[in-house]
Structure 1
Amino acid sequence: MISQVLEGMELMLDQLLQDPTITTDRLSYVSATEYQDLIYNWNATGVEYDTSVTLHELFERQVEKTPDHIALVYEDVKLSYRELNGRSNQLAHYLLQNYEIKPDELIPLCLERSEQMLIGILGVLKSGGAYVPMDPNYPMDRIEHILGDTKARVVIGEEDTIKKLFEYKSETNDLSILSLNSLEIQYEVNKCSSDNPKTDVSSGDLSYVIYTSGTTGKPKGVMIEHKSVVNLMDSIREVYGSSTLGKVSAYTSYVFDVSVSEFFSALLYGNELYILSEDIKKDSDLISDYLLAHEITHTYLPPALLSILPRKDYPNLQTILYAGEPCDEETGRYWGEYKKLYNLYGPTESTIYATYREIKSGEVHLIGRSIANTTTYVLDEYLRPVPVGAIGELYIGGVGLSRGYLNLPELTDEKFLANPFQIEEERKKGYNNRIYKTGDLVRYLPGGDLEYMGRNDFQVKIRGYRIELGEIENGLLSYEGICQAAVLAKENSSRLKYLIGYYVSDTAINHEELSVHLSGLIPEYMMPSVYVHLKELPITINGKLDRRALPEPIFTGDKEYIAPETPLQQSLAEIYGEVLDLPVASIGLHDDFFRLGGNSIMAIKLISKIYHQLGIQIKVADVFKGRMIGVLSLIITNYKAEYKAIVSLNNAINKPNMFMIHSGGVGCEVYQSLADKLDNDYHCYGVDYYNLYHEEKIDNLNRLAMYYLDHMEEIQMKRQGEEYILLGWSLGGQIALEIASELESRGHKNITVYLLDTIIKYSDSELMNISPFSDEEISREFQIPMDNNYFIKIKNVLSAELILSRQNISTKLRFTKTVLLKAMLKENKEERELITEYIQQLTYNNVDIVLEDSSLLKVYPINALHRNMLEEEAAIIDVIKRDLTK
């Protein structure tokens, strides 16, 4: 059908701004020279700062300025700057006297949240070493990995946290364990000088090493130097404000680098640091009470917590920071209007934060511009800059870059590259000579802000979700008895992806139990479709996992095989086999469609084949209810095919209505997954395809739109005055525009239409010259023999669709807000090449011609093929939710 051929359009960026009246608010074209100038200006972030000073020296300077001011508060403990400095000096002298700490020596900490945590950090820094934070609740294998990787001679803990370390000590015999609250150590430390120690440490030495999770499951240590942190602190001082009378809360665990920002943005500038206890951190009401009781002026809170923070009046609170992930738009809008709200972005490898932006109107995905002495580049896979507005991978340069990964030179070389964009002036200064490959997808907006789009590293994408295979593997490894695990994503013959979980254990494990275990760790979309038990994982000659040698899964056989008995059951087994690419002889009555490798997208194909071959139109819900052939055959036997023009796709009863209009050749069930994920925002109704259920086809666009609108009004009348919200993919978008035209003629003005890569065809366009599909093309496209009864049915549907697609919208739209989500990717197909080439030249898919006021049109590029638009659920939802808040 036409709508399935019109796929894979590539947006022509050099035409995007030809019509300045069109709002494309995410895309921009500039010449190559202008682009270079823009990137150069956006990266002109060089600012003078003290490159010779260390973190603890800056703290000591502040102690001299405000010795008696409160520095730190934890529960009932309050320490002045003088007291905190003196106690950390004593610990530093103790370390120097007993261990002769040298610059770059790594000293792990295993401390609970308290004033001791800051004393330990400062004591290590003042001794000349670099601290390595460990959570006392870490599994022992992680602690052992860190102690071994750092080659630690001494570890600092407390009585309650060091117990598990003695087993490791007994095996190595060369590790000293210090307990800061043991009477013996306290006595020895208290005898040491409280004066600032003098060491050979410099700003180019390490200040800390923080371990982050790796895709292999083994944490990797990121090495950060003093000068990098000093630059960061100096740069974000503007965010916190320069007042020396502020009160800064510390929420983050010290094993995450955000804590460094919390600690030192207070202690380097004379502010008071308030450490939240573990009990308070877990309760949003307690956090709220704490902010009020202690008159906190500056706080960092993770987005999930910020969204549930009670919305009281916080008269002293001036600035709120969040980082790590976007917060939801409603939360961002509320706090951005109430207080100064900043989104801070940066991987650990670039010293906590690399960019920042104040969020005022809910633009929570904007990560803003670079902090001082930091450069950003948006590049393609060949390290070439992509145009403004196009999506690429973010690379970061500047003084914040880590030295690399501890004891991992190959990974360091892989992630930290020579900077091909270093200019001569930077080269002379020895500045900006490396860039870090973040794995984050972003794009430059025309004003210079960066917009965060997602991840692009060791991940696969299934049904629109980006999935980290390492996370699933770690989940499998957490099951008792599994000693090794691997996860692969594969495609069946229909090019539909599914996940396979391989595991090594002494005996095979019940797969249902494995699924139950994983369901408590990972979301449903990350669950493997099948598990494979192995005695050992295959490895290459280099000792690495040989993924190509992993065996193909056997989907059937989990339960006792019972052969299909009736003709209907045998037909269903054959259809299961076709859809899942499995041998029919192995599919029994009790085999679960989803356990055999099926998913929601494949379920759509299943019901299509059932209709094609059996003449019965069932729903996706029936497949979920009757997963096994035996059950599904009973449902079909009792099934009465009844056409309903409007079908409720979710249960969001009190939310605004959204009508999702079928595409060509398929019913509204294709929107089921999208509707499920919008149930917090919209009550989604599917507008089902009349022509699939009726012998007499409707091939008049206005008549079809009027038919649907009559049914929609019955639902919408219950919510009089509410906005009409329509969504349509391909042909469905064209029908939606015709419905909008009819609504406007009836006096409605509050209408929004979302078009999923709809292309409007006009009498003066090349598209009008498209010839109908030949019988051979239809047979090949649908894999249906021309002598099959269903062939005539589908040919009639396609003929009606071709006529529908050639018709103009009845009137130009004057009020309808129109949002076009345009497919950016080009399919490598030669057939009907002239059509594809013509469509690529359509900047707005001809949608702008439909509108009387073209400023009503917004265009969002989607990194997808036309035929795969619905797999980009996350991007579609992001656009809809952004538009919802505007």
Structure 2
Amino acid sequence: ALERVLADEGLRVGEWFGCLGDECGWVSGEAVGAGLAGAGETVGEVLSSVVSSQPKRLAVADGERRWSYGELWLRAAAVSRALQTAGLVPGERVGLVGGHDGPLLAGLLGIVLAGGAYVPLEPWQPQSRWEAVRAAQGLRRVVTVAGEAERAASLGLPLVVVESLPADAGGEALVAVSPDAPVYVLHTSGTTGAPRAVMQTQAGLLWQLARYAGSLGLGREDRLSWLSGYGYDAALQDVFGALLSGASLHAVDVQGGGLDGAGVLARLADAGVTVLHATPTVYRYLLGAELSCRHELGSLRWVVLGGEAARASDLALLASRLGPGVGLVNGYGLTECTVATRWVGDARSRLRGEWLPLGRPVGPLSLRLESAPGEAGWCGEIVLRAAGLAAGEGEGESRVYRTGDLAYWRADGELMYAGRRDAQVQLGGRRLELDEVAAVLERHAAVRAAAAAVWPGPDGVLRLAGYYEAAAELDPAELRAHCRGWLADWAVPVAWLRLARLPRRANGKLDRDALPAPRWGAAGRRLPAGELERQIAGLCAELLGRETIGADDDFFALGGHSLLALQLIARIREQTG
């Protein structure tokens, strides 16, 4: 490498080390095992094949109910027939509002069986987002569950309520559609302040799932966890990965189910899950707590991490809590390609550095790094090439998608993540465009210009800060209320800074690197009074990584989230009984 540098004074830094083996070209995916359990060219056909072969086997358990494949099919079929009767046409987008349980699953599958494309509308999302999605997708009807029917009715569209339908009505359930027909439309954060749609086809979803199931060797004896919300691509791996492999799906609502980490883990242990799929944050929350014999996970084969960067310490946690028989998968994917690469290790693996590698492409998918468009290199943007991508340029196996993620090939041949080309970040496993937050802030009548950035809090966890130009200091509570009209709670800044001028580069663009770091000090004005208030305030301060906290402070406004809230509840119970 040094000889090349000395011989060519025009060589760029990115070219100093050349390529490592074949890594500067297209790297092909690793071979995977047999894919899905059923046959067919659409999701409905494959599911029908699985159900026919094992109608009495357990399909889904959610704590309240245990449905066999046959029973789940009957309930989904009832939804499908109701939609057909209402005039649903193949390919039509249908809103989906539910919880984290069997009825939600029946509604989702019912839309798919009827030939529609389901569009998740999650209850925690603000009404403005629902309205934006409704308008963009041309929604004409909504499938919902009894507990969310009142909220779903706020859109003013006809409802199909899953629990209100008879499960034994006659008629054909499965509508024939093309493999190229849409099966779902998910929405991610967009730079303009409006959600960005990602549509996947029937064939594209089957391609993703076959690679996932094959890479883990999924079969009818497997029991998969379902922790992710139905509006995220991670849920696709759990829901369809289980049901189209003939396995069982075990739903546990981590965010809103009222269970602390020990409770969630106990449910998974009781179910005998063989595949635990979670973000690294949730994984650390579950396995980092004090465990007992009630949390025996002896059936576990795989821990699959994804949605955010995984650390070497995550592998150490697996080694200390689960032993050598459990494999750890660090999965890299996007909404446009749920399963892209994976790194596989176990308790005996030896690592270099703080972060887990991204691994290699999975199955029939190719990857390369581009230092500039069309220029392959040892570092640069991750570019994917395959037939089943939900977005990109080109057709068939030549379809290419530029991810916006940066990576580099390490000297030992491992692919390592290196950030983003744009202002997109990951918060708790969720993708967020910082420009979306800024666009929402700029809708405030008193804000001239705005920006957002993430910074590590006192506890090392990334938190969101908002910056704005205004004639006078604005009340943080007012800013939070304004943002909550457009953004989910987790996407609302927890710190606010008014600046005379946002820092800008010579070309007039925002210089995000020059934004000042926020102050994470306590914002409360009233000190805790009485032993109980002091005890609870101390626990809050400890979890939030603060020295002190005021008695009237907003736990969530100071950086708290649902997982921390569950930890807080558990600790209060421990200390107060």
Using the size of structure 2 for normalisation, the TM-score is: 0.70
Q: Matches of 1:287 and 1:13 in 2, distance apart? A: 57
Q: Matches of 2:150 and 2:515 in 1, distance apart? A: 48
| Cross-structure match for 2:123 | 136
Change in CA separation of 1:328 and 1:75 when aligned onto 2, cut-off 3 Å: same
Q: Deviations 1:27-60 (Å, cap 9, x if unpaired)?
A: 96449xx647x73453587999899611121111
Which one of 476, 480, 483 corresponds to residue 441 of structure 2?
476
Q: Matches of 2:3 and 2:479 in 1, distance apart? A: 46
SS in 1 for 2:25: helix
| Cross-structure match for 2:185 | 209
> Aligned runs of 1:250-649 on 2, under 5 Å?
250-278=226-254, 279-280=256-257, 283-308=260-285, 309=287, 310=289, 313-335=296-318, 338=324, 339-350=326-337, 352-360=338-346, 361=349, 363=351, 364-387=355-378, 391-402=379-390, 404=391, 416-418=392-394, 431-445=396-410, 448-458=413-423, 469-470=434-435, 472-473=437-438, 476=441, 486-487=450-451, 501-502=467-468, 508-510=472-474, 521-522=492-493, 528=497, 530-531=499-500, 599=516
Change in CA separation of 1:59 and 1:346 when aligned onto 2, cut-off 3 Å: same
SS in 2 for 1:138: coil
> Aligned runs of 1:686-697 on 2, under 5 Å?
none
Change in CA separation of 1:12 and 1:323 when aligned onto 2, cut-off 3 Å: farther
Which consecutive unaligned segments of at least 5 residues does structure 2 have?
Answer: 7-15, 426-431, 454-464, 484-488, 522-544, 546-577
Change in CA separation of 1:362 and 1:142 when aligned onto 2, cut-off 3 Å: farther
| Cross-structure match for 2:141 | 154
Alpha-carbon distance, 1:158 to partner:
2.9
SS in 2 for 1:95: helix
| Cross-structure match for 1:86 | 74
Which one of 175, 197, 200 corresponds to residue 224 of structure 1?
200
Q: Matches of 1:162 and 1:143 in 2, distance apart? A: 14
Q: Matches of 2:213 and 2:134 in 1, distance apart? A: 34
SS in 2 for 1:307: helix
Which one of 141, 146, 158 corresponds to residue 176 of structure 1?
158
Alpha-carbon distance, 1:484 to partner:
7.5
| Cross-structure match for 1:116 | 103
Alpha-carbon distance, 1:469 to partner:
4.0
Q: Matches of 2:169 and 2:79 in 1, distance apart? A: 8
> Aligned runs of 1:769-780 on 2, under 5 Å?
none
| Cross-structure match for 2:225 | 249
Which consecutive unaligned segments of at least 5 residues does structure 1 have?
Answer: 1-10, 17-26, 170-174, 405-415, 419-429, 461-466, 490-498, 534-546, 553-596, 602-623, 625-676, 678-886
Alignment check: 8 A CA contact 1:45 1:375 kept = no
Alignment check: 8 A CA contact 2:447 2:468 kept = no
Taking only the aligned residue pairs, the percentage that are identical comes to 22
Change in CA separation of 1:370 and 1:14 when aligned onto 2, cut-off 3 Å: farther
Q: Deviations 1:820-861 (Å, cap 9, x if unpaired)?
A: xxxxxxxxxxxxxxxxxxxxxxxxxxxxxxxxxxxxxxxxxx
**Is 1:65 matched with 2:65?**
no
Q: Matches of 2:161 and 2:224 in 1, distance apart? A: 28
Q: Which moved more, 1:305-314 or 1:140-149?
A: 305-314
Using the size of structure 1 for normalisation, the TM-score is: 0.47
SS in 1 for 2:339: coil
Q: Matches of 1:138 and 1:516 in 2, distance apart? A: 15
Q: Matches of 2:344 and 2:4 in 1, distance apart? A: 31
Alpha-carbon distance, 1:129 to partner:
0.8
Change in CA separation of 1:42 and 1:523 when aligned onto 2, cut-off 3 Å: farther
Alpha-carbon distance, 1:241 to partner:
2.7
More helix by share: 1
Q: Matches of 2:398 and 2:315 in 1, distance apart? A: 36
Q: Deviations 1:746-805 (Å, cap 9, x if unpaired)?
A: xxxxxxxxxxxxxxxxxxxxxxxxxxxxxxxxxxxxxxxxxxxxxxxxxxxxxxxxxxxx
| Cross-structure match for 2:114 | 127
Q: Matches of 1:478 and 1:282 in 2, distance apart? A: 37
SS in 1 for 2:89: coil
Alpha-carbon distance, 1:288 to partner:
1.5
How large is the Cα RMSD of the aligned pairs? 4.0
Alpha-carbon distance, 1:516 to partner:
9.6
Q: Matches of 2:34 and 2:246 in 1, distance apart? A: 22
Q: Deviations 1:123-155 (Å, cap 9, x if unpaired)?
A: 011001111111012100001111111101111
Q: Matches of 2:99 and 2:365 in 1, distance apart? A: 33
Q: Matches of 1:232 and 1:168 in 2, distance apart? A: 32
Q: Matches of 2:251 and 2:187 in 1, distance apart? A: 22
Amino acid at match of 1:102: V
Alpha-carbon distance, 1:382 to partner:
3.3
Q: Matches of 1:223 and 1:516 in 2, distance apart? A: 31
Change in CA separation of 1:46 and 1:275 when aligned onto 2, cut-off 3 Å: closer
Alpha-carbon distance, 1:314 to partner:
1.8
Alpha-carbon distance, 1:321 to partner:
0.7
The aligned length equals 463
Alignment check: 8 A CA contact 1:104 1:128 kept = yes
Change in CA separation of 1:281 and 1:475 when aligned onto 2, cut-off 3 Å: farther
Alignment check: 8 A CA contact 2:211 2:339 kept = no
Q: Matches of 1:287 and 1:73 in 2, distance apart? A: 14
Change in CA separation of 1:12 and 1:202 when aligned onto 2, cut-off 3 Å: farther
Alignment check: 8 A CA contact 2:40 2:46 kept = no
Alpha-carbon distance, 1:217 to partner:
2.1
Q: Matches of 2:41 and 2:508 in 1, distance apart? A: 52
**Is 1:97 matched with 2:85?**
yes
Change in CA separation of 1:340 and 1:28 when aligned onto 2, cut-off 3 Å: farther
Alignment check: 8 A CA contact 1:73 1:79 kept = yes
Alignment check: 8 A CA contact 1:307 1:328 kept = no
SS in 1 for 2:441: helix
